[in-house]
Structure 1
Amino acid sequence: MFDISRVVFFGVDLHGHVNPTLGLIHKLVARGEEVIYYCSDPFRDKIEQTGAAFRSYQGLLSFGRHHGTGIETLLVFADFIMDKCRIIVEALREEIRELQPDYIIHDSFCLWGKELASGLRIPGISVFANFPFIDEMAYRDPAFFMEYVLLASEDPLYLKHKEQHDVYQKLMDKLSRVIGLKYGRPGLNVINDIFCSKEPLNLVFSSREFQIYEEVFDDSHLFCGYELYPREEPVDFPFEQLDGRPLIYVAFGTILHNLSELYQTCFDTLGDSEYQVVMSLGVQTDLSSIGPVPGNFIVRPYVPQLEILSRADAFITHGGANSIYESLCNAVPMIVLPQVFDEFMGALMVERAGAGIYLPHSHPSNEQLRETVDQVLENPFYHEQCQWIKRSFKSAGGLEYAVDRIIQYAKQKVCHE
């Protein structure tokens, strides 16, 4: 028998990154592992509910959104991660050393987790809480990366070199040189090293059946499926008003809050229809900015998403990873209106899997939205495909399998040191 291990987990302070990790942390704690979870203060309660000990970044981390061209966004985000890595490693190096963890698990965006594990010569494990995108996918289909991940189809630099077969490689080489010179780290791979902080073991909360270009993911990537972890959400919601009509859930995440036009489109399209609609605005959206609420809508700043999805017939979503995976686990087909960055890849994954429809216009017309909603609700194909993906999540092995592999990997690597 192995002794109980102490584990440090480094997370990202976004709901879409924290929520997918809670089940894993709970399972590790249930196995007897001592888990210390670093995140920002607003996430303390939900992390402590798993049985993990919470540690605060003390204001050192604050993830958000950057709006700009795709290539600009990639450079800004890479610089953000590298800068945060430098700051956090310097601030926490001695604290982590004193904790003497046996291994470190970190979000794929937390390069500092990989750096600290390497510095302490202990096993490191990366977790893809978002949609996995690795460098090998771009080599498989460079145009897909440039146009659907970077959203660079109209970027002057891309248009200038679009016909060149090595335009992706030239871009990556240039970005690597810029970042390498600034941080004294030549030779870094922008995608795999910075955005994925890849390790010898990388957990993917999905199945190969749902993953785009799954064939390029080698055995270091453990697809363990997706499991819902119940969240205690003390939200006052009028469940008694749900009257049995087909239920549509509308939510565009917790970060974006300048979507009044899109909310109004939903009102105009679905108001006073045969459907009942639950809409989550996000806590930063002013309800008074979007006009009168139709009688068949229930609109709140925040709703208990898992409870609503368990009752919903369709989900109009921005396409964040957390929302898509939770929808699939409830076999709820989606209408995806991506707004930023990786949500466009999520929309494509949903469409390719037949689990919903991707609307490429972030602000569709009333007619487009209504036709798409009707199609998703009336054609059983979409629900059947959601059921198929849901089954693939279960057959991937689940969190128990993931914990088995984590513990096995960590102990074996220690034994081989």
Structure 2
Amino acid sequence: MTSRHRAHVAMFSIAAHGHVNPSLEVIRELVARGHRVSYAIPASFAEKVAATGAEPVVYNSTLPTDDDPDAWGTEPIDYIEPFLSDAVQALPQLADAFAGDEPDLVLHDITSYPAPVLAHRWGVPAVSLWPNLVPWEGYEEEVAEPMLAGLKASERGKAYYTRFENWLAGHGIDTHPDRFVARPRRAVVLIPEALQPHADRVDESVYTFVGACQGDRAEQGDWQRPADAEKVLLVSLGSAMTKQPDFYRECLRAFGDLPGWHVVLQIGKFVDPAELGEIPGNVEVRSWVPQLAVLKQADAFITHAGAGGSQEGLATATPMVAVPLATDQFGNAEMLEALGVARQLPLAEATADALRKAVLELVDDPEVARRLDDVRQRMAAEGGTRRAADLIEAELPHVTKG
């Protein structure tokens, strides 16, 4: 039998729901196993982190937050420069915070560049908790290089890479920035393999898929399906890019007063319900809902296809209409459609007629239900939270035999 000492684990992430939420059940499990977990996070997420039993280590961040998604800009370089700038100013804060209390193991979100630098400085293992799809063998040549060629040729892009390389070199790391970000030493992937493109070409010695780590989410509250609802539809575009009043009005036109249907329309905090006009009687409009609780009772899901929502839809075997808005959402939408459990609609084509047609076809197709059940079973076999914690414990030093 193998036993381990009570370890000090340090987790590092940023103030974004899509990066913090996937890690929470894993952290809760590590705490339950007796480990001490310090979680470096900006103040806005400290309370959520503390609820897992971890100790928040609060640092100041310069990154745009979910409260101001427009602050990210519009050019590709606008999406990557802030992470480096934030890392440069956050690293000294984090080094001071852990001085004299260095961890045995570093866990980190893919966006937390200071974490592997600190692990290198401290001489401890680093494990990435990866919340979305991972690069496969050939990814750089097939996707990254064509996508970044223009950026790397620009003056601003050259300056970014020079600054990044110099920052890493100053801390004794000679890895190229692209590999530093996308090719960790070890990664526990918090999505199901079903969502991963070219899964057969992923390096299994680095990336291990554990599927959904969802927990019971009881602290988020419950939702009750109305007694007279024959079918329930959830519409949610996540927490960040929710300022889409035109899209919500199309949903109202598509499903308002549709016989037998009850619609839960989550509009986020950037849209006033008054902007939507008259709300049909079968629609409840919310700024936020306990998404997993609704999905457990829903018959269909219109989603932006973020990693969290995509796997929650799969875990609850809910047919999906994917309307991707940014980043990995497009790849997730393609994977969901390829699995035969979703339809993908570009935002510009997500009209009332198209949305209604897609939803009704999905829920009436028994083959979609069969495929969803198959994916759900495959996800359950991946192990989820307990498997993630097992993999992390396997990376801890100071193993003793007994």
Taking structure 1 as the reference length, what is the TM-score of the superposition?
Answer: 0.85
Deviations 1:175-227 (A, max 9, x none): 77432323425875454423x3x432101112333310113321111111213
1:281 aligned residue (242, 253, 267): 267
2:192 aligned residue (207, 212, 226): 207
Which residue of the partner structure matches residue 124 of structure 1? 126
| Gap change, CA 1:307 and 1:397, over 3 Å in 2 | closer
**Matching of residue 181 in structure 1 with residue 168 in structure 2:** no
Whether the 8 Å contact between 1:227 and 1:329 is mirrored in structure 2 is no
SS at match of 1:76: helix
Which residue of the partner structure matches residue 260 of structure 1? 245
**Matching of residue 319 in structure 1 with residue 305 in structure 2:** yes
Q: Please report the RMSD computed on the Cα atoms of aligned residues, expressed in angstroms.
A: 2.5
**Matching of residue 408 in structure 1 with residue 391 in structure 2:** no
| Gap change, CA 1:292 and 1:190, over 3 Å in 2 | farther
| Gap change, CA 1:381 and 1:12, over 3 Å in 2 | farther
1:112 aligned residue (111, 114, 124): 114
| Superposed counterparts of 1:83-162, under 5 Å | 83-133=85-135, 136-139=138-141, 141-142=142-143
Which residue of the partner structure matches residue 335 of structure 1? 321
Residue 293 of structure 1 aligns with an amino acid whose one-letter code is: I
For the residues of structure 1 that align with 2:383 and 2:222, how far apart are their CA atoms?
A: 35
Cα offset for 1:167?
Answer: 4.1
Whether the 8 Å contact between 1:210 and 1:389 is mirrored in structure 2 is no
Bigger mean CA deviation after superposition, 258-267 or 32-41? 32-41
Deviations 1:285-337 (A, max 9, x none): 21111111111111111111111011001100111111111111111111011
Which residue of the partner structure matches residue 158 of structure 1? none
| Superposed counterparts of 1:284-299, under 5 Å | 284-299=270-285
For the residues of structure 1 that align with 2:386 and 2:302, how far apart are their CA atoms?
A: 31
Whether the 8 Å contact between 1:233 and 1:304 is mirrored in structure 2 is no
For the residues of structure 1 that align with 2:115 and 2:227, how far apart are their CA atoms?
A: 44
Deviations 1:376-396 (A, max 9, x none): 111122222222222222222
Deviations 1:35-72 (A, max 9, x none): 11122233233322221112222355544546666xx3
Residue 182 of structure 1 aligns with an amino acid whose one-letter code is: R
Cα offset for 1:405?
Answer: 1.9
Whether the 8 Å contact between 2:137 and 2:202 is mirrored in structure 1 is no
Whether the 8 Å contact between 2:195 and 2:332 is mirrored in structure 1 is no
| Superposed counterparts of 1:23-42, under 5 Å | 23-42=25-44
Deviations 1:250-286 (A, max 9, x none): 1111112421100000011111102111111112321
Whether the 8 Å contact between 1:9 and 1:106 is mirrored in structure 2 is yes
For the residues of structure 2 that align with 1:374 and 1:189, how far apart are their CA atoms?
A: 48
Whether the 8 Å contact between 1:137 and 1:216 is mirrored in structure 2 is no
Which residue of the partner structure matches residue 79 of structure 1? 81
Which residue of the partner structure matches residue 303 of structure 1? 289
For the residues of structure 1 that align with 2:222 and 2:341, how far apart are their CA atoms?
A: 30
Cα offset for 1:232?
Answer: 3.8
Residue 14 of structure 1 aligns with an amino acid whose one-letter code is: A
| Gap change, CA 1:135 and 1:377, over 3 Å in 2 | same
SS at match of 2:397: helix
Which residue of the partner structure matches residue 348 of structure 1? 334
| Superposed counterparts of 1:42-61, under 5 Å | 42-61=44-63
Bigger mean CA deviation after superposition, 282-291 or 173-182? 173-182
| Gap change, CA 1:311 and 1:369, over 3 Å in 2 | same
User: Percent identity among equivalent residues?
Assistant: 26
Which residue of the partner structure matches residue 155 of structure 1? none
SS at match of 2:4: coil
Residue 127 of structure 1 aligns with an amino acid whose one-letter code is: L
| Gap change, CA 1:178 and 1:126, over 3 Å in 2 | same
Taking structure 2 as the reference length, what is the TM-score of the superposition?
Answer: 0.88
Bigger mean CA deviation after superposition, 242-251 or 285-294? 242-251
For the residues of structure 1 that align with 2:295 and 2:317, how far apart are their CA atoms?
A: 9
Number of residue equivalences: 385
For the residues of structure 1 that align with 2:225 and 2:365, how far apart are their CA atoms?
A: 28
2:380 aligned residue (394, 399, 402): 394
Whether the 8 Å contact between 1:16 and 1:130 is mirrored in structure 2 is no
Deviations 1:362-408 (A, max 9, x none): 45222211110111111122222222222222222332222222112
Whether the 8 Å contact between 2:136 and 2:199 is mirrored in structure 1 is no
Whether the 8 Å contact between 1:20 and 1:205 is mirrored in structure 2 is yes
